[in-house]
Amino acid sequence: MVSFSPVQALSVALAFWVSSVAGTACNPRGYLTVETANGPVTGHLAPNASCVVEYLGVPYAKPPVGGLRFAPPQKISARKAYEAANFGFDCPLSASPTPDFPGFTPQARRIVSFFASGAGTPQSEDCLTLNIWAKPTARSTRAAKPVVVFFYGGRFAIGNTNSPFYTGKYFAEAEDVIVVTVNYRLNIFGFPGIPGQPQNLGLRDQRAAVEWIRDNIKRFGGDPTKITITGQSSGGVAVDYWTYAYRRDPIANGIIAPSGNAFSFPVNAPGVPQRNWETVVSAVGCSSAADVLACMRAADWQAIRTAAAALSKS
């Protein structure tokens, strides 16, 4: 049986509205550097994907560090050249144990370990980046392409874009679309539950990424009026949340939630997010601080990650 990654499988779902450009000449080397609102971004030819250019680890918001930790994403104001050669850092997460199902083959265990974030890819709070795969065609024949934006799954606790299952190069090669994958904050960093402070920062990251895509994707050959958002598992849940959160200005003109919706996860009981936050605050040593939030923003992110991971084991 042939298996497909979530991103590859979307080509089937989108085939009804994606047009073919078979036979149209492409000139990828002429599109390696793209001018964005934040400066020039230089990509490279994607390995093993004919004519596809990939731009990896492109920042879409300011690094959420220091005073921006536990804060909504902030737009990038500075302009500078960016070499989009490698995936950005994973957002902080703690790998989940790999479940042991009856008859689990070694290959199945290896695949699931990637979804459980066992790949060992580097982590940092400076993780608000996205990746773009585009197949340029001749300027005289190229029309603006539909754009597919993918949010990874992981129950909002784990996940990353630096995974062989989420690469968009094969989808961009097979179909006349531009593919974008997005890193967003997870666990306590994306959903801290701080009393009196903005919530759901990870979902706000997704919105900031789509706003950046809307404002810049035309430079990559994409059509900002034809953005479809999709996701796997909690990524699908986020897509369904989107339809309720941004009814007046959705940006996206299409959604695909293949494996999750707004009712997939139980809602936290009142008080649970705050209790979880206070437990982590205590474990990090900030309970007695005059300004708890300032203390938590100054604390080592790895200590916060460890304390948050202990909650799921208690």
Nearest residue to 185 via CA among 87, 74, 261, 73: 73
User: Does 35 fall in a domain?
Assistant: yes
pLDDT of residue 105: 86
Determine which helix (DSSP H) or strand (DSSP E) holds 32, and give its type and residue range.
none
Nearest residue to 164 via CA among 127, 113, 213: 113
CATH number for 83? 3.40.50.1820
Q: How many domains, in total, are found in the chain?
A: 2
Are residues 275 and 257 both part of a single domain?
Answer: no
User: Does 227 fall in a domain?
Assistant: yes
- Which range of residues forms the domain containing residue 300? 269-314
User: Does 291 fall in a domain?
Assistant: yes
What does each of the 314 residues of the chain score in pLDDT, given as a tens digit?
444 455 544 544 444 334 343 445 667 777 799 999 999 999 999 999 988 999 999 999 999 999 999 999 999 988 899 999 999 999 999 876 666 667 778 887 777 776 665 567 899 999 999 999 999 865 434 579 999 999 999 889 989 999 888 899 999 999 989 999 999 999 999 999 999 999 999 999 999 999 999 999 999 999 999 999 999 999 999 999 999 999 899 999 999 988 888 998 888 888 999 999 999 999 999 999 999 999 999 999 999 999 999 987 66
Euclidean distance between CA atoms 28 and 50, whole angstroms:
9
Are residues 244 and 282 both part of a single domain?
Answer: no
Are residues 180 and 304 both part of a single domain?
Answer: no
User: Which two tokens mark 2?
Assistant: 């042939």
User: Does 1 fall in a domain?
Assistant: no
Are residues 260 and 275 both part of a single domain?
Answer: no
Are residues 236 and 284 both part of a single domain?
Answer: no
Are residues 122 and 162 both part of a single domain?
Answer: yes
Neighbours of 86 (CB within 10 A): 12
Are residues 20 and 57 both part of a single domain?
Answer: yes
pLDDT of residue 115: 65
pLDDT of residue 99: 64
Are residues 179 and 286 both part of a single domain?
Answer: no
Determine which helix (DSSP H) or strand (DSSP E) holds 23, and give its type and residue range.
none
Are residues 205 and 305 both part of a single domain?
Answer: no
pTM for this entry? 0.87
Are residues 289 and 241 both part of a single domain?
Answer: no
Q: Are 233 and 257 in contact (CB under 8 A)?
A: no
pLDDT of residue 303: 97
Task: Give the long-range contacts of residues 16-24, CB within 8 A, separation 24 or more.
Answer: 17/146, 18/146, 18/175, 18/176, 18/177, 19/176, 20/175, 20/176, 21/137, 21/141, 21/176, 24/137, 24/138, 24/141, 24/142
Are residues 126 and 257 both part of a single domain?
Answer: yes
User: Does 219 fall in a domain?
Assistant: yes
pLDDT of residue 109: 75
Neighbours of 14 (CB within 10 A): 17
Are residues 189 and 313 both part of a single domain?
Answer: no
